[in-house]
Structure 1
Amino acid sequence: MANPLREAIKRYFYPYAESQGFKRAKSSHPQFTSFRRFQGERIHVFDVQWDKYGRPRFIVNFGEANVNNVGVPKMEVETQHCNHMYRLQRKKGGSYSCWFQLRKPWLEALSSRRLKYQPEEVVDQLIAYFLEMEAWWSDKLEGPHVQRLRRVG
C-alpha cells in the first residue's frame, strides 16, 4: 500500500518544496500533486505522479513555462504546458524500476540485507535529487537523475 510513503512525502517533502518558494496547487486528480513557483516571467512547475495502480512509487515531472506564452491562466499552468518536460527519478531510464519507491534495487538490497527503504529514506533521496531540478531551472543542466521527456516547438 502506498499510504506510508504518501504520508512521508506530505509530512517532509511538501514543506521542503514550500520552503523553496513553491505553492501547492489544488489537485483535480489523486494521482498528481502539482507545485508552482513564479520567477519573473517564468513559471517553474513540477508534479508528483503516483503509480496509477496504487503501488508505493512515484516520479516527479517538471518543466518551465513563460507566463505570457502558455495560453492558460498562470495559476493553472501544469507540466504539460511547459516547452521542456523532464522527469526526476532515482535513475535514468523508462521502466518502473527508475521510479522512487520503497523497493531497493536488488544489488543494494543484497549488500544492505534489507529489501525495502523506510519511507523517510525515499523522501531524503527525493530532497537530495531535488537540487538537480533547481540546477536545470537555473542553468539548464541535466543531472544524473534527470530524464528529458520532450521539447515542444
Structure 2
Amino acid sequence: MASKAKPLNDELRKRFYPLVISRGFEKLKSSDPHFTEFKRQTSVGEDFFEVQWDKYWRPYFVLNFKKQETDDPRWSYGGRLQRKRGGSMACWFSVRRPLLHRLFTLQWNYKPQEVVDELINAFEELEQWWKNGEIGPHIYIWQYHA
C-alpha cells in the first residue's frame, strides 16, 4: 500500500475491523489488496460489505454492501456507505476535508482517527439498513439512482 493511504488503513485495522468482528462479521481473504471483505450470517441470510480503496492508493475508501436472503439466494441488493450520498469519489470517506470545511477551519485534512470516527458513526446506519431497510444520509443505493 502506498504511503498516502497507509495511516488511514492502519487506523481502520486498529479500530474499525475489531468493531465489526465483535458484531459477528468474519474477515474474508481477498485476492485484490484494494478490497477487504467481511460477511455475517443472520437468521434471514447474509450481510456482506467490503472496504474498497482508491485504485491509486490515495486516502479514499468506501464501503460497498449487500444483503442476500436465504429463501432466494439469487435475490440480493445493496449499495454504498460513504461520507455523503452521490456517485462521485468526492462522496467517499477521505482525509480530505470538503471545501467549505477547509474554508471555515483553515485545515486541509482530517486526522485518520477523525475519519474512522465518522465511519463508525455512519456504520450504525448500515446496521439499521440490514435490520429494517432504513436508508440513512450516508447510504447510497445504486438501484434508486441508476
Q: TM-score, normalised by structure 1?
A: 0.87
Q: How many residues align?
A: 141
1:123 aligned to 2:112? no
The CA RMSD over aligned residues, in Å, is 1.5
Runs of 4+ with >6 A deviation: none
What SS does the aligned partner of 2:143 have? strand
Q: TM-score, normalised by structure 2?
A: 0.91
List alignment gaps of at least 5 residues for structure 1: 72-81
Residue in 2 that maps onto 1:60: 63
List alignment gaps of at least 5 residues for structure 2: none
Distance in 2 of aligned mates of 1:24 and 1:67: 20
**Identity across aligned pairs (percent)?**
43
Residue in 2 that maps onto 1:12: 15
Deviation of the 1:19 alpha carbon: 1.4
Residue in 2 that maps onto 1:109: 102
| Deviation readout 1:90-120 (Å, 9 max, x if unpaired) | 0011111100000000111111121100001
Q: Which amino acid aligns with 2:107?
A: R
Deviation of the 1:40 alpha carbon: 1.7
Deviation of the 1:68 alpha carbon: 5.6
1:3 aligned to 2:6? yes
Distance in 2 of aligned mates of 1:94 and 1:56: 17
Distance in 1 of aligned mates of 2:6 and 2:123: 22
Residue in 2 that maps onto 1:77: none
Deviation of the 1:67 alpha carbon: 3.8
Residue in 2 that maps onto 1:91: 84
Deviation of the 1:69 alpha carbon: 3.8
Distance in 2 of aligned mates of 1:20 and 1:40: 14
Matches within 5 A, 1:16-95: 16-67=19-70, 69-70=72-73, 83-95=76-88
